[in-house]
Amino acid sequence: MDSGIITIMLPLALAIIMIGLGLELTPKDFARVTKHPKAVLIALFCQLVLLVGIAFLLCKLFTLEPLLAVGLMLLAASPGGSTANLFSYLFKGDLALNITLTAINSVIAALTLPLIVNFSIMHFMQEGQQISLHFSKILQVFGIIIIPVCVGMLIRHYAPALTEKLNKPLRFFAVILLLLIIAGAIFSERQNIASYLGQVGAATAIFCICSLTIGYFIPRLLGINSAQARACAFEIGIHNSTLAMTIALTVMASATIAMPAAVYSIFMYIFAALFGTLISKFALLTTKPAIDQDLEFDNTKH
């Protein structure tokens, strides 16, 4: 992609998307963690420990080349985005919990993402390869994530009427931008795209499936109700691939590192929709016997 688009337009576009995320948040969303501490802690553990570990194992299992391995770890370290809230709404997740998880994740990711990426660089990259996140770049990542979200929250607080007008256009812009970023990243690496798909396609697909599955079933096994588990699944399973690609293309200046996030973006919406449909049907099947029993009980009365 053109260097001007990468260095100026891409960060600006991501900032607008993150402002849109901030428009959906209030301080109450951060305070709500005290109402559902168990669900929040389980979701954070799944995302920051289990899935980062799974991403690392997938890098090893598929023997990804160093830049692609760093890219997959960058994706794993990226928080959920506003699209996760949309899927949670569509498939009857606990939307309030989803928004809370997005708020908490966005803040924590500003700290954990550089740590995970720097670990990946040290582990996978050979000495002499000029890819790193030094302190100045860490501050840049922090600014990319936190500052626009705070701006969006301030707009919501001081100009609620403007917030209502901006919400839908910003959502539409986010979808269009994501498609353009994916297309641009793929076009810039068009000569190597078949090779990248062969190397990282299966790894990203498995990672996506693991993210959604772990995000739902681990909370369920630990006693979290179905609606909250769905919120956790979509928050964990729908990573902010736009953020990952922006960091890869601007802060790290590598289209190759952006490839796992670009490929993941192709899978995640399809898999998330299928997963939401499956757990909805599963919920219906598990509740049907109870309904049938109630009907039988009523019939015996007559």
- Count Cβ atoms below 10 Å from residue 54 Cβ, excluding itself: 18
Q: Is 286 a residue whose pLDDT tops 90?
A: no
For residue 161, give both structure tokens: 């009427």
pLDDT at 293: 44
> What pLDDT is attached to residue 297?
39
Q: What is the pLDDT of residue 245?
A: 84
> Using alpha carbons only, what angle is made at residue 197 by residues 17 and 189, rounded to the nearest 5 degrees?
65
Give the mean pLDDT of the chain. 80
Tokens for 111, please give them: 């700290």
The predicted structure's pLDDT at residue 260: 92
User: Do 243 and 144 meet the contact criterion of CB atoms below 8 Å apart?
Assistant: yes
Q: Which of 276, 240, 266, 237 is nearest to 81 (CA)?
A: 240
**Quick check: 141 pLDDT over 80?**
no
Closest to 245 (Cα-Cα) out of 170, 205, 191, 189: 189
Q: What is the pLDDT of residue 284?
A: 67
Nearest by Cα to 267 from 3, 72, 119:
72
pLDDT of the residue at 70? 94
33-49: pLDDT as tens digits: 788 899 999 999 999 99
d(CA 163, CA 51): 34
| Residue 258: how many other CB atoms lie within 10 Å | 30
- In Å, what is the CA distance from 93 to each residue of 98, 230, 280? 8, 5, 10
Q: Are 252 and 114 in contact (CB under 8 A)?
A: no
**Chain segment 54-74, per-residue pLDDT in tens:** 999 999 999 999 999 999 999
What is the number of residues in the chain? 302
pLDDT 10s digits, 233-267: 999 999 888 788 888 888 888 888 988 998 898 78
What is the span of the domain harbouring residue 281? 3-301
**What's the rounded Cα separation, in Å, for the pair 13 and 59?**
30
**CA–CA dist 121, 131 (Å, integer):** 7
Instruction: Using the structure block, give the residue that is written with the tokens 């699209």.
Output: 83
Q: Which of 110, 109, 82, 274 shows the shortest CA–CA distance to 178?
A: 82
Share of the chain above pLDDT 70, in %: 78
Q: What percent of the chain has pLDDT over 90?
A: 30
Q: What is the mean pLDDT of residues 110-130?
A: 82
Q: Where residue 145 sits, what CATH number does that domain have? A: 1.20.1530.20
118 in helix, strand or coil?
A: helix
User: Best-predicted range by mean pLDDT among 25-34, 63-72, 284-293?
Assistant: 63-72
- Which residue has tokens 């428009």? 23
Whole-number pLDDT of residue 135: 59
Q: How many domains does the chain have?
A: 1
226 CB-side CA count, 13 A: 11
| For residues 151-158, average pLDDT | 87
| CA–CA dist 83, 18 (Å, integer) | 12
Candidate from 114-118, 191-195, 202-206 with smallest mean pLDDT? 191-195
Phi then psi for residue 102, to 5 deg, are: -60, -45
